[in-house]
Chain A
Amino acid sequence: MTPTVSASGLSLHYGGTRALDDVSLRLSGGVTGLLGPNGAGKTTLLRVLATAVPADRGAFTVLGHDPGTSRGRQEVRRHLGYLPQTPGFHPDFTAFEFVDYVAILKELTDRTARHREVRRVLDEVGLADVRGKRIKKLSGGMRQRVALAAALVGDPEFVVLDEPTVGLDPEQRMRFRELVAQAGEGRTVLLSTHQTEDVAMLCNRVVVLADGTVRFDGTPGELTAQAAGRVWSSEERDPGAKAGWRTGAGTFRNVGDPPAGAELLEPTLEDGYLLTLDGAGAEVTA
């Protein structure tokens, strides 16, 4: 099966900062989660794959198109939906007007067909009832859904979502996850997040990025399995653990190399993620 995205050796420096270092990956249908701590290079990788910025080194294709040329870039963009980390809105626009504006940028110039498509995506994200409302009067969750509708307008085959659940309350987050799962049916979605719950609930594949490099690439189950036999409970924080935190029960949950006779626990995706980071941004809390 031909992958939607095929990237090899992507590197990018901003001045003296190494944002991406030799990143290679292949993406096919479904939702792939891009996990990593702040400053890991997630947004940079998404912006490169969304053709917003070029990589210093390396190459990639989207649906066989090479964005290294102006024509190839335009072809990639015709198949792309993008929700940036902090989506901006023209506040005086209504939800309908804003998505309509993005649809025009996506070359949907026929008024009737465009309006039909705008209505379809607003229905899809559950905003049919507020499409005439000004964006500045919508809640944060609704604005995020407007931005998702803008990303999905034109029915793109490759959708890039940069931390779409940040700032949403738990109920809004659940609703948004449902929408992203729905969007992943028949498409390739790349979702950046630092919340393991997003990955556990949404993704059929996960890529862990730290310090600009890929630390893990596999299924959420495989990431969880990385922590098998490496999570244990203790009454006090174990100084030998790579990370440890107090649980609601008052005991400490530790990940790393357990001491002999330790009470081993069932690993979670979060445990596997922390072990994969291995000092590259894992926060140890007491």
Chain B
Amino acid sequence: MTHGTTGWHVPETDLRAYARGDLEPPLLWSADTHLTACAHCRAALADVTDPVALDAGWDRLDAELDAPRPGLLESLLLRLGIADHTARLLAATPALRRSWLGAVAAVLVLTVAVAAGHATGGSPTLFLALAPLLPLAGVALSYGPALDPTYEMAVVAPMHGFRLLMIRTVAVLGAGLGLNLLATLALPGYGLRALTWLLPALALTATALALTARLGPVPAASLVGGGWVAVLLAADSVRAGEETTLVPFTAAGQGVSAAVAVLAAGLLVLMRDRFDLSRGRTV
């Protein structure tokens, strides 16, 4: 069918599926949008459906008309196949906002530039030291009374606090690790050594999340981040020379990071019910 200014109309098979309620997104959204503006397709829809189903279709269309146009992040998540309700939850995550991702990207670019400028063998120590802290900070900033303006409402909602935390953590961790991986690609001279930030990143994030149940997200992340810096300083003080790799980025150090990540993840699961109550205090 071709008609109207756009030259496109909803195919009859889609109209029939629409009338039955079987049409799936994104075809459903296309049909919804088009039907609001095209009298021809509305008439065609009336011809292929019974009145009761048609009423249900209009009802659905009414609801769609009020639906907001998703923002950039939400649209991207929908295109990646994320369910619309999960995408909306993630759009409200502070650490996924453009400003945060932009700041992370800027820090990484700077770090890679510094590392690339001193590519004299060994490991890109500054990059490896900083990269685990970025997803750690992102996760800390994605949840909690200090940074989530709707925290109190979210806590008393039936969706379990741990589930919300995990949805946001996976998304923030995915974005943070993705940016780190892109930065790693800019350091081809180091080979796999440039990837030795990954296990420490997972260990630090899992440990901070486990401590969040008791300390709150920002203090927990600060404590873990401080601990990481202390470990690096201690490792630096005992290494033989500048070309020697710091212990956390050696095979033994990676093993310890993996073990810590697994233990912390287990502890986190055991403490999941603690995320179900508010941390704020008001008389």
Contact = CB atoms under 8 A, between A and B. Distances in A.
Contact of B156 (A80, A104, A109): A80
A53 B89 contact: no
B151 interface: yes
A132 B67 CA distance: 9
B71 interface: yes
Contacts of B155: 52
Given A39-B283, A74-B158, A88 B66 contact: no
A43 B283 CA distance: 6
A34 to B, nearest CB: 13
A50 interface: yes
Give the interface size class of chain A. 35 or more
Given A82-B153, A111-B85, A115-B66, A70 B273 contact: yes
Given A54-B277, A92-B71, A104-B88, A84 B283 contact: no
Interface string A41-78: 10110010011111000000000000000100110011
Contacts of A113: 63
A100 interface: yes
Contact of A106 (B59, B64, B158): B158
Interface in B36-64: 59-60, 62-64
A41 B148 CA distance: 24
A93 B92 contact: yes
A96 interface: yes
Interface string A100-111: 111011110101
B281 interface: yes
Interface string A204-239: 000000000000000000000000000000000000
B157 A102 contact: yes
Contact of B149 (A53, A77, A89, A109): A89
B158 A52 contact: no
Interface in B139-171: 148-160, 164
A90 interface: yes
B283 A90 contact: no
A53 to B, nearest CB: 5
Contacts of B159: 104-107
List of 5 A-B pairs having minimum Cβ-Cβ separation, nearest first: A88-B149, A105-B157, A115-B63, A52-B278, A77-B158
Interface of B: 59-60, 62-64, 66-68, 71, 83-85, 88-89, 92, 148-160, 164, 273, 276-278, 280-283
